[in-house]
Amino acid sequence: MSFFKHQSNKVQQPEPMEVTHEPLALDDEQRVKVLSPGMLVFKRFISNRLAIVGTICITAMFLFSFIGGWLMPYGEDEVFKHYVEMIKDYASVTENDQIRYTVAEGKEFPSVAQASFVLAANKKETTFSARNKQYTLEQLDDDFYIISALQEVASAGTTKDGYLVSLSPEFKAPRGFEAAFRQAIANKLESFTVNDTEYTVILQKKFYYAYISQIVASASLDIFDYISSETVATFEFQYKAQLAVLNNQTTFTADGLNFELKEEEGIILISQVTASGKTEYATISRYIVNPISSDIFLTIEFKDAAKVAIEEGKPKFTFNDGSGDKEYIIERKNTIWSIRSSASALVTLDFDQPSLTHLLGTDGNGMDILTRLMYGGRVSLMIGFIVVIIETLIGVILGGIAGYFGKWVDNLLMRLVDVFNSIPSTPLIIILGAMMDAMRIDPQIRMIYLMLILGFLGWPYIARLVRGQILSLREQEFMVAAEATGLSVNRKIFRHLVPNVIPQLIVVSTMSLGGVILTESVLSFLGLGVKYPFASWGNIINAVSNVFVMTNYWFVWIPAGFCILITVLGFNFIGDGLRDAFDPKMKR
């Protein structure tokens, strides 16, 4: 026993093994065994630098578009305006060369009679007719006429015993009227007077007619401007004023009021004379001074200042409008003088340079470009995702049915795919865009139509992809087991076959996002996509419609183009990274 005990004491104890913690490689067999397929894809994805860059770009675009729009104090379609000093048209002055008519109260002088008067005046005739009425005209000056309407009071016909006079029923002839009428006919006079009343004689178809005249209107080139806008212009006032000017009188009476005339630099100033003094009442000139806008009332003082400046040939004049002296510029165009002045106007802040208020400036509509870029990113990204979802759903359903059933179902659906592939998408979208423009469809409804159209035109590629994958998967062991368990067709297609195609669908959908966003941007740039007031990156660039804007306002189109570039590249990088992560052999 002692021997064995001695030998046992000599047995050496094994030395402890040194444990090393060396890191395992990504493709080490021990490491691969503990990673799920999803984690393997994730590890491969994050090891792809371009995929990480694309992810950062897309994340930045999402934060910029959705979070940035909430933080910005401006609205998507908010228009900014500011006040600027502008030289604007204020009034126009024309030297009158058209006869103007002043009709007496209670009388009529229609346009037909006015046309007949012009013909008679040009022919130097003293009578004319219009609408079975007789008129006389009396020329008191070169451009001043008195027009009277003739009322028939008697007629005379020739007989062997002389002239037989017939009186109008409503006319009461004074004593000696018939004898005076006959004598005027015999002496071939154009008029005669009885009891201070003048009668006009006119020969018509062998009959002589006697008329009594009543003044109905005056015609002249003179323009009356009244001091007060509430002054009612009467025929008597204008008639008496023109007679006074014609006779070189300095005073006259009209409408029971006394007036005084005074000429200053070619303008006749009329003042009303009362016991308390003289008050300016009106002016007479050959100039028509009209305001550009109906809400502007031109005072007589302003009109006089403008007329004097034009008479003296001055290029500008100064007038105190109550708020201080203001300078007015006179510009002549043919026979019209334009009076322009500097005024504060509220205008759109278009193409404003970048500043602290607007970091990227404003566009041609006066909207903040940075805000429009954020809201435009929302629209472009939303359209991209919805279009991809629509074409993926349609493609998966039709491609899954075609791949699973095969035979005539496959043949029919693939011919449908061929039909859609044969449709010229760009001309079709242009035609539909023109139709929506003509129908004036609401911009929001138009955006929905755009997404549906792009989605329906883009599903054939996904349907072919799904169909091809399912054709290769439906004969594998797991599908034989699913068939043996008696699962329904829907469960076999959408629970067993389609999930095996999801990696390829993710890759294709991700890479399609960039193409859809680019397509939407091109359509919006051409005016066929998203419409105002909604913003998209494409219609922001659409504002650059000429070379001048493109070269001078770079801040309008370069940021939008940069956003499109970054987003499309980001989705393409992510798509490439997912493709390599799902199938590492594609990198070789």
Query: For 432-442, what is the mean pLDDT?
Result: 85
- The residue from 178, 204, 220 where one domain ends is 220
Q: Do residue 519 and residue 492 come from a single domain?
A: yes
pLDDT digits (tens, 9 = 90+) for 508-529: 888 888 888 888 888 887 777 7
Res 115: pLDDT? 92
Same domain for 310 and 164: no
Instruction: Please indicate, yes or no, if residue 30 is contained in any of the structural domains.
Output: no
Using alpha carbons only, give the angle 244, 248, 253 rounded to the nearest 5 degrees: 25
Query: Same domain for 515 and 389?
Result: yes
Same domain for 461 and 313: no
Q: Which two tokens stand for residue 575?
A: 């798509």
Of residues 242, 208, 238, 217, the one with CA closest to residue 118: 217
> Is residue 486 over pLDDT 80?
no
Quickly state the pLDDT bin for 370 (edges 50, 70, 90): very high
Backbone angles phi, psi at 296, to 5 degrees: -105, 125
Domain count, the chain: 4
Is residue 244 located within the same domain as residue 342?
no
- Asked if the structure places residue 87 within a domain, the reply is no
The reply to whether 28 falls in a domain is no
Residues 200, 191 contacting (CB under 8 angstroms): yes
Residues 376 and 489 in one domain: yes
Residue with more model confidence, 76 or 546: 76
Q: Beta partners for 218? A: 102, 146
Q: Which residues contact 1 (CB under 8 A, 6 or more apart)?
A: none
What mean pLDDT is predicted for residues 489-493?
71
On the question of pLDDT at 9 being above 70, the answer is: no
The CATH number assigned to the domain holding 410 equals 1.10.3720.10
pLDDT at 127: 85
End of a domain among 348, 369, 398? 348
CB 564 within 8 A of CB 557: no
Mark residue 407 as left, alpha or beta (left: phi above 0; alpha: psi -120 to 50; beta: remaining). Answer: left
Tokens of 257: 């009021």
Query: Are 425 and 342 members of one domain?
Result: no
Question: Can you give the pLDDT at residue 542?
Answer: 79
User: Any idea what DSSP says for residue 48?
Assistant: -
pLDDT of residue 36: 65
Answer whether 458's CB lies under 8 Å from 512's CB: yes
Q: Region 41-63: what's the mean pLDDT?
A: 89
> What's the pLDDT tens digit per position in 455-479?
888 888 888 888 888 877 776 666 6
What is the chain's mean pLDDT, rounded? 83
* Residue predicted with more confidence, 232 or 103: 103
Same domain, 378 and 516: yes
Q: Is the pLDDT of residue 427 over 50?
A: yes
Question: Residue 332 falls within a domain, yes or no?
Answer: yes
Whether residue 88 is contained in a domain is answered as no
Distance, first Cα to last Cα, the chain:
71
pLDDT of 408 above 50: yes
386 and 253 part of one domain: no
Same domain membership, residue 274 and residue 301:
no
Confidence of residue 6 (pLDDT cuts 50, 70, 90): very low
The predicted structure's pLDDT at residue 483: 66
> What pLDDT digit, counting tens, does each position of 372-406 carry?
999 989 988 998 899 999 988 998 888 888 887 87
What is the pLDDT at residue 86?
A: 82
For 44-48, 257-261, 304-308, 493-497, which range has the lowest pLDDT when averaged over its residues? 493-497
Question: What proportion of the chain, given as a percentage, has pLDDT over 90?
Answer: 12
Task: Name the pLDDT band for 260 (thresholds 50, 70, 90).
Answer: very high
Distance CA 448, CA 439 (A): 15
Question: Can you list the alpha helix ranges (DSSP code H) found in 356-442?
Answer: 369-405, 407-422, 425-439
**In angstroms, rounded to a whole number, what is the distance separating the alpha carbons of residues 51 and 577?**
5
CA distances from 180 to 149, 158, 159, 211, 294 (A): 21, 16, 17, 13, 56
Ramachandran category for residue 324: left, alpha or beta (phi over 0 → left; psi -120 to 50 → alpha): left
Q: Residue 235 sits in which domain range? A: 222-285
In a domain, 263, yes or no: yes
Mean pLDDT value of segment 537-561: 84
The whole-number pLDDT of residue 31 equals: 52
If asked whether residues 276 and 305 sit together in one domain, one would say no
Q: What is the pLDDT of residues 343-353, one digit of tens each?
A: 788 888 888 88
> Based on the domain organization, do 427 and 547 belong to the same domain?
yes
In a domain, 93, yes or no: no
> Which H or E element spans position 423?
none
Q: What is the spatial distance between Cα 93 and Cα 340, in angstroms, rounded to a whole number?
A: 11
- Residue 433 lies inside a defined structural domain of this protein: yes
Model confidence pLDDT, tens digit, residues 149-203: 888 888 888 887 778 888 888 888 888 888 888 888 888 888 888 888 888 888 8
Task: Kindly report which listed range (9-23, 154-168, 175-189, 305-319) carries the lowest average pLDDT score.
Answer: 9-23
Of 220, 249, 277, the one marking the end of a domain is 220
